[in-house]
């Protein structure tokens, strides 16, 4: 199978490319810059922006499927920049699939598309989209996900996966951020109540995409649907954070701030950064305060049933692998 992976140089994208190559698929990637690790895998690379439909059209020539992992992620920033990448970019992907007759699209979404600022405990995919969002990322990912699922038809089968908190060796986002903040003494627990979270080890997240791809067709049980993807092992949030910090030989977090104070400071930072047009990400936002003070764990039985997803690497085994990789770095 010839597969185009958008964002193939990213953490998830490169893991997917590696798995595809390992099983003998012909893999291409489109991203904004070239990556040596993709060259080493033998992945054909194309450079371009998702807002440029012509670049996508060129990269997708002759492909049998697209796995669309590329996105603008974050908790802060100009709404239009998120919209252009996450919504316009996805619209371009869909149009290229239609124009080239590509029959399969696996879209990487996020559980944040249904986050309603409260606890999400054991919820499945029947949970509705909220009426409003606190930041641009979940709103634009929600718009894109709905567009992808609506596009499902007999010419293009689509599926959306919602992996939650992907981590592991090679992580260039979540783990480095946790370790940097812990080292600087800038990490605090939000509130004192116990909250449980799902996460997903990188190999499990990548494997889910290949399983969905292989099962996907217009007649399949997964077409036109969204699925939560996690390890299926809810952990206490700060236990998981502290284990990641220990893997990096850091000191666990023990200090906390009240939820109300964190939320208020998030509002203050948002107002200040907006007024002063500061582009950097604030140390706290209202969205982040809510995310860190509520439970997020999901029922993944539909992914198990519809395309055979099964997490192969446990959280404990993942932490062992993470520690080994950090010690080598």
**pLDDT digit string, tens, across residues 106-154:** 999 999 999 998 999 999 999 999 999 989 999 999 999 999 999 999 9
CA 52 vs CA 98, 243, 327: distances in Å: 16, 41, 40
Could you tell me which residue, 301 or 182, shows the higher pLDDT? 301
Rounded distance between C-alpha atoms, residue 53 and residue 95, angstroms: 8
Comparing CA positions, the residue from 315, 277, 86 lying closest to residue 198 is 315
Global confidence as pTM: 0.94
**Strand 166-167 versus strand 200-201 pairing type:** parallel
**Mean pLDDT, all residues of the chain:** 94
* Statement: residue 329 has pLDDT above 80: no
Query: Cβ(213)–Cβ(106) under 8 Å?
Result: yes
Could you tell me which residue, 277 or 316, shows the higher pLDDT? 316
Q: For the domain 2-170+198-233+298-312, what is the CATH code?
A: 3.40.50.720
| End-to-end C-alpha distance for the chain, whole angstroms | 35
CB neighbour class for 36 (10 Å; exposed up to 12, middle 13-18, buried from 19):
exposed
pLDDT of residue 38: 97
Quick one: DSSP state of residue 21?
Answer: H
CA 45 vs CA 8, 109, 216, 245: distances in Å: 9, 23, 25, 35
3-state SS, residue 14: helix
Query: What residues contact residue 8 under an 8 Å CB cut-off, 6+ apart?
Result: 14, 16, 17, 27, 28, 29, 30, 31, 35, 38, 43, 45, 69
Q: Give the residue numbers marked as catalytic.
A: 137
CA 169 vs CA 249, 261, 327: distances in Å: 15, 34, 11
Which residue's structure tokens are 């370790």?
A: 179
**pLDDT digit string, tens, across residues 249-258:** 998 998 888 9
* Statement: residue 101 has pLDDT above 90: yes
CB environment 281-311: b (16+ within 10 A), e (fewer): ebebbbbbbbbbbbbbbbbbebbeebbebeb
Q: What angle do CA 9, 209, 33 make, to 5 degrees?
A: 15
Section 45-61 average pLDDT:
96
């Amino acid at each position: 199978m010839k597969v185009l992976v958008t964002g193939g140089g990213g953490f998830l994208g490169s893991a997917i490319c590696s798995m595809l190559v390992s099983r003998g698929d012909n893999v291409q990637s489109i991203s904004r810059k070239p990556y040596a690790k993709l060259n080493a895998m033998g992945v054909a690379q194309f450079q371009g922006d998702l807002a440029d439909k012509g670049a996508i059209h060129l990269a997708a020539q002759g492909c049998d499927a697209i796995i669309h992992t590329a996105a603008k992620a974050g908790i802060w920033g100009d709404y239009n920049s998120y919209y252009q990448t996450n919504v316009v970019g996805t619209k371009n992907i869909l149009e290229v699939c239609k124009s080239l007759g590509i029959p399969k699209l696996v879209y990487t979404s996020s559980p944040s598309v249904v986050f309603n600022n409260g606890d999400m405990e054991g919820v499945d995919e029947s949970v509705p989209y909220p009426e409003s969002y606190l930041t641009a990322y979940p709103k634009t990912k929600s718009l894109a996900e709905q567009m992808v699922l609506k596009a499902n038809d007999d010419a293009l089968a689509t599926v959306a996966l919602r992996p939650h908190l992907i981590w592991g060796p090679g992580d260039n986002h979540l783990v480095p951020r946790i370790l940097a903040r812990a080292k600087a003494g800038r990490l605090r627990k939000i509130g004192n109540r116990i909250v449980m979270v799902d996460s997903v080890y990188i190999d499990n997240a990548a494997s889910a995409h290949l399983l969905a791809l292989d099962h996907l067709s217009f007649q399949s049980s997964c077409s036109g649907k969204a699925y939560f993807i996690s390890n299926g092992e809810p952990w206490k949030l700060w236990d998981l954070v502290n284990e990641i910090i220990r893997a990096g030989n850091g000191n666990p977090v023990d200090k906390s701030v009240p939820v109300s104070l964190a939320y208020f400071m998030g509002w203050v930072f948002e107002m200040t950064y907006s007024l002063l047009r500061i582009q950097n990400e604030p140390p706290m936002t209202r969205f982040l305060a809510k995310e860190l003070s509520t439970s997020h764990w999901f029922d993944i039985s539909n992914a198990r049933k519809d395309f055979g997803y099964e997490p192969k690497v446990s959280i404990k085994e993942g932490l062992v692998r993470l520690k080994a990789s950090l010690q080598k770095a």
